[in-house]
Amino acid sequence: MTPPLTTPSIPRLTTSLGSVPVLSSFAAFPADPSLPERSAEAEGAPGWPCADMHKRMRILTWCGGALLLAAVAGWLYVRHAVRAVPSFYQQVLAAPTAQQVEASEGLLAAASTLANDVRRQGSWHALFTAEQINGWLAVDLPENHQHLLPPGVSQPRVQLRAGSATIYCWYRDKVETVVSIDLELYVHEPNVLAIRLQTVRAGAVRIPMGNVIEGVSKAAHDARWNLRWLQTEGDPVALLTLPASVDDEQVHYSLTTIELREGELYLAGTTSYVGKPRQPVVFKESLSRLRFQR
């Protein structure tokens, strides 16, 4: 009698995820003695699919975390750097009020002398200190000429060095930061003032010059100034042509020299006229008597 057919028992393997049985279709068959036995070390080798997948996931996780940390650190650095206030600007803003008033009056007196000198035929010159300029910017500008400042700009100050200068100001709009502009100032040709922009910063962060160039161009257009742009060694240079005469009389002014010195601004030029020269004018109260063109 033929014995009944029986199905060989198939062992069940249990995964590490729970008690769900996993059928091993090859467990019921004898192993091939010619093949080496798979060891635990082999299962952790790079060629083992599960171990390789877990390793890749760990690498991706570490890379993603590192990128996230780098982005957060970069954002914090930029946020802190944009809010940085240069030490010179802090010092000049902290100057005593009485000292600023005295310096402003000194600038008005020097401007009065210059206004009288340029109405006389011949050469003239003037010297303004950075302290006088900053005093006028602190006292007379906000009191009498606030309209000269662009929206969002306040408390402008200057730092004068030999051959260069830096303009500082607070800018408050979507962000609150101190904008600083490094520049050179010189006479390109008689009555043509050259302003070479070198760097622009928001706090300690260097920013593109596009907005500054656009702002200067708009201000010149609104004031009907003759302004054009050139480029020197990659730096934009604004050329501002000053009028040779400002009234109906045949009086011609020629600005020939501007020098940036350590803490000083020096101007020089000549005046020629045809007809009766103008009488000197003395400024007694404030530079607000001057009529600025918007």
- On the question of pLDDT at 1 being above 80, the answer is no
pLDDT per position as a tens digit, 146-158: 888 888 899 999 9
Residue with tokens 């080496």: 36
Closest to 211 in 3D by CA, of 200, 222, 220:
200
Tokens of 32: 């091939």
pLDDT above 70 covers a percentage of the chain that reads: 65
CB 150 within 8 A of CB 164: no
* CA distance linking residue 158 with residue 133, whole number of Å: 8
Q: How confident is the model at residue 10 (pLDDT cuts 50, 70, 90)?
A: very low
Residue with tokens 């404030």: 286
- On the question of pLDDT at 189 being above 80, the answer is yes
- On the question of pLDDT at 28 being above 50, the answer is no
pLDDT per position as a tens digit, 104-158: 999 999 999 999 998 888 999 999 999 999 999 999 999 999 888 888 899 999 9
Sketch the domain layout of the chain as residue ranges.
87-275
Long-range contacts of 35-39 (CB under 8 A, 24+ apart): none
pLDDT per position as a tens digit, 66-101: 666 666 555 445 555 678 889 999 999 999 999 999
- On the question of pLDDT at 225 being above 50, the answer is yes
* CA distance linking residue 272 with residue 38, whole number of Å: 105
* CA distance linking residue 42 with residue 273, whole number of Å: 101
N-to-C CA span, the chain:
121
- Enter the DSSP assignment of 45: S
Closest to 262 in 3D by CA, of 127, 134, 183, 162:
162
Backbone dihedral angles phi then psi of residue 123, each to the nearest 5 degrees: -90, 160
pTM of the model: 0.68
Cβ neighbours of residue 93 under 8 Å, at least 6 residues apart? 155, 157
Which amino acid belongs to residue 173?
D
DSSP string of 217-230, one letter each residue: HHHHHHTT-EEEEE
Q: For residue 272, give Cα distances in angstroms to 40, 189, 250.
A: 101, 17, 8
User: In residues, how long is the chain?
Assistant: 294
Q: Sign of the CA dihedral 223, 226, 229, 230?
A: negative
Tokens of 159: 């730092």
